[in-house]
Structures are given as C-alpha cells and as structure tokens.
Amino acid sequence: MLVINRKGGAGKSTLAISIASWYAHQGFKTEIVDLDPQGTSYFWGSKNEGVRAQKFLPTSNIPFSLALRLEADTHLTVVDSPSNFSQFEMEKYVSMVDKIIFPVQPSPIDVHSMLGFVKSLISSKVFHSNEVELAFVITRCNGQQQGRQFVDRVIKHMKYPLLGTMSEDICYQEMFAQRTSFLEFNPNVDQHLWHTLDSWLSVEPDLSSGGHRKSRSVNPRIA
C-alpha cells in the first residue's frame, strides 16, 4: 500500500505510521518503507518492535525493486512517499503496490492542489494495467465540517472511496514520540476510519497460522 500526495504537509507520514501501527498492534507482520529524505516513518519504525522498517532514497543508483527485501511472512507493506518526485518515479511507486491511499486536508487550497496530480495518477498506464485501487483519507481534521463536506463532494465526483477522517488527536503525536502504537494512548480514536480501512483492505483471520490475522492484499511485485 502506497501513501502518496505531492503536496507537503498533507499528513502522509503520520497516516503511513498510523496504518502500520494499527495493523502491527493487531498482530500483523507489518513493514514500512520510507522513501522520504526526512526519514520520519523510518525513525518511528526502526525502534518499534512490531514493525520492520526500511528506507530508500529515490536518488539512489540502486533500483528500488532490488533494494527492498521483504520477509516472506510479511502481511502488509506500507510505503511512505516523498513530497517531491517525478512522473517517472511516481509510476515506479505505483507499479509495486496494490492499493494507494491519498491523504488530503479539508481545505479548498489542498483540494485544488491535489486535482492535477490525481488526474495524472489515475490516467497513468501503470495505474490501469496493474488495476491499482485508490482511496482517500481526510487528514488533520479538527471539526471543519464545511471543509470536510467540500472534500467529500469532490471525491464523490471522482468516484473513488473516502475511507474517513483522521483527527489531530494527541495520541498520534505520542505514538511518534514513544515509537509505539497510537492505540496505547487512545484506543477509541477515529474508529470509523480504521474499521473502514480494514474493510477496504479485505483483512481476515489467517486460520493456518494459529488464528493470526493477515491481509489478502500482500503484493508480490514489491518483493
């Protein structure tokens, strides 16, 4: 799964870390791949016992597909993209994932800035040939009902699912500072979002491994 938005400050790393945190907390074998030079996701994941973290800079001479080495029992890989990348790099990211989550803040400026990029994303050949699924999450939502409704209308017009809204609850900051799960600080935060995400990813129990849960959206192309 790829978390992507070309605009900085959209909450990509917070969302990527939170997704990895959600699944790792439930016993998934979860990996997070950080493509952002800031290394925020890697910083969190490298000290989190439930998550395996890797970092890779797009400027590296090593091909992305060769640099990554995912463990065989990985259930879910979350890829945190940088804010600045070329069309070629975007297509490389998309070619190696099954699903894309696009975080957007609830403001007309953020919605306007995303439209051109989303158009180029969904019109790319690799997006269609690989049948990649796309969904949106409204991030940094602090009760701006009018802004949320505006984003909701725009996304519905594009006919892609809106998974829900992610608040600015302090638990997400505590999660990063303590390098643990946000569920340890507020297990009831944004429950609609996380359960909708769970459904979208088609998560189900893995009865062959003693009842542990796993995702059916494991991506063989990224290995």
DSSP for 2-65, written as a single string = EE--SSTTSSHHHHHHHHHHHHHHTT--EEEEE-STT-HHHHHHTT-TTEEEEE--TT-SS-HH
Q: Is residue 144 pLDDT above 70, yes or no?
A: no
Task: State the average pLDDT over residues 199-217.
Answer: 53
Q: What gap in Å lies between CA 41 and CA 43, rounded to an integer?
A: 5
As a whole number of angstroms, the distance between CA 202 and CA 197 comes to 9
In whole angstroms, give the CA distance from residue 146 to residue 166: 16
pLDDT of residue 130 exceeding 50, the answer is yes
The yes-or-no verdict on residue 33 having pLDDT over 50 is yes
Which pLDDT band, with edges at 50, 70 and 90, does 155 fall under?
confident
pLDDT bucket at 221, cuts 50 / 70 / 90: very low
pLDDT at 140 over 90: no
pLDDT number for residue 209: 45
Q: Residue 154: how many CB atoms within 10 A of its CB?
A: 18
Our count of domains for the chain comes to 1
Q: How much is the pTM?
A: 0.86
CATH code (residue 194): 3.40.50.300
Domain residue limits at 26: 2-222
- Across the range 161-189, mean pLDDT stands at 94
Q: Are the beta carbons of 100 and 4 closer than 8 angstroms?
A: yes
**Between 144 and 83, residue with greater pLDDT:** 83
Distance spanning both ends of the chain, measured CA to CA: 13
